[in-house]
Amino acid sequence: MIALGPVDYLLMLADVLVEVCCLVFLLKRRAFSQYFTLMLYFCASIAIEIGRFSIIKTAGFTSNAYLYFYFYSDAVLTICLYFVLMTFYAHVFSEMGVSKFVRGGAMLLLAGTAGISYHMVAASTDRLVTHFVVELGQNLYFVGVLLTYLLWGAMVKMRENRTRLMQLVLSTGVILSAFAGSYALGNLYPSFALWRYFFPLINMWLPVSWAYTFWKVPEDARMVTARVLAPNR
Amino acid sequence: MIAILIFGVSGLTLLQFFVSYCHSLIAESRGYKLSEQGREISGITANSVRGDEFRRLLQLIAICPEPGGDHNQVRAVSIYFGLLGLFRILFGWIQPAVVRWIESERGGCAYLAAVMLDRRIAYNRVLMARQMSTQL
């Protein structure tokens, strides 16, 4: 039986702490109304971390209860990240007045991804609910990557120059790609021992990079997009 | 099969997003003018910083107390700097233009490190001034 050591608990605590820090930065910079979904994401993430900890304490790390809670809560967090992405889309396309279509399209994509994941699991020989949620997690992250890539492409094309928005979108792209890649690798090598340290570690990227952006980059900071594509030009 | 495909595409997009994120940090730092004190301490005289000064600047950053928050950005740029080094070893021999491009990128990394050091020095000066005023 695998038991959690001090490193695991330390990583969990660090995750919660950096998320709380980012929330504080968001509130301090008075950006919560503009980026409400970011706050929603962090509140959900903190609540889920606490939930995971209490399930580990009551049922154990290797229990089915923890396994189900882990993957389903991860799917909930990814959906929250979709809402964050929608906010970014809304900011980028704010002057075009297409936010309704963006919201509708993202919801359709979300439902489509869940449908495809269900179909993939239903077609396989072992129809396990756990397989569905792992498949769903991997596919949700991947669709998230594609959506972020599309958004970044649109930002480059439209010569978006808001530094804060650029850094927020790029750091979201980094985390979504890292998660999608590691989920896919996790599907290929599920018994790799370092996964339990790897996921909490990369989980810290988003709150840390967002906190840095809100702390260092003012809302009115502008940057030429070409400089991001080729900084020394 | 799908997992392998997702892994491959995600790996590529991760690289693209990571490089663009590092570029945005470097581009943001370009707008920052290094202070005289920062230049003096870091030993930088010219307006641009050479790539091979990056390691030395990192060592200076490590001994300078941080105001908090920029540690991971320093690490991200260090990873990018390392990737550039690897890229130079792998592809530098093909085209001299590649080496020139890598050197200018590494110079950008070094300038960002100088800016971070400068910010830390400024932060510590403010801290010291506050401490001295409370002692008085």
Span A155-178, pLDDT tens digits:
888 888 888 889 999 999 999 999
Q: Is the pLDDT of residue A195 over 80?
A: no
User: If you count them, how many residues does chain B have?
Assistant: 136
Question: CA A198, CA B100: separation in Å to the nearest integer?
Answer: 36
Q: What residues of chain B lie within 8 A of the CB of A212, using their CB?
A: 69-70, 72-73
Q: Are A138 and B5 in contact (CB under 8 A)?
A: no
Q: In this complex, do B72 and A231 lie within 8 Å of one another by their Cβ atoms?
A: no
Tell me, what DSSP letter sits at residue B33? P
pLDDT at A171: 92
Range with the poorest average pLDDT among A80-89, A156-165, A185-194: A185-194
**3-state SS assignment for residue A162:** strand
pLDDT at A230: 63
Q: What count of other Cβ atoms lies within 10 Å of the Cβ of residue A67? A: 16
Q: Per-residue pLDDT tens for B23-40?
A: 888 888 877 788 888 788
Write out the CATH class of domain A6-224: mainly alpha
Q: What residues of chain A lie within 8 A of the CB of B6, using their CB?
A: 138, 142, 180-181, 183-184
Question: CA A126, CA A10: separation in Å to the nearest integer?
Answer: 36
Nearest-CB residue to B24 (from A167, A180, A188): A167
- AA letter at B104: S
pLDDT at A44: 92
Number of helical (H) and strand (E) elements in chain A, helices listed first: 9, 0
Nearest-CB residue to B23 (from A148, A174, A228): A228
pLDDT at A130: 62
Q: Per-residue pLDDT tens for A9-59?
A: 888 888 888 889 888 888 888 777 788 889 899 999 999 999 998 998 888
Question: CA B38, CA A186: separation in Å to the nearest integer?
Answer: 46
Q: H or E stretch including A193?
A: none
pLDDT at A170: 92
- AA letter at A205: W
Percent of chain A at pLDDT > 70 equals 89
How far apart are the two ends of chain B, measured CA to CA in Å? 71
Q: How many structural domains are present in chain B?
A: 1
Q: Which residues span the domain enclosing B35?
A: 2-135
Q: Which residue has the higher pLDDT, A221 or B69?
A: A221
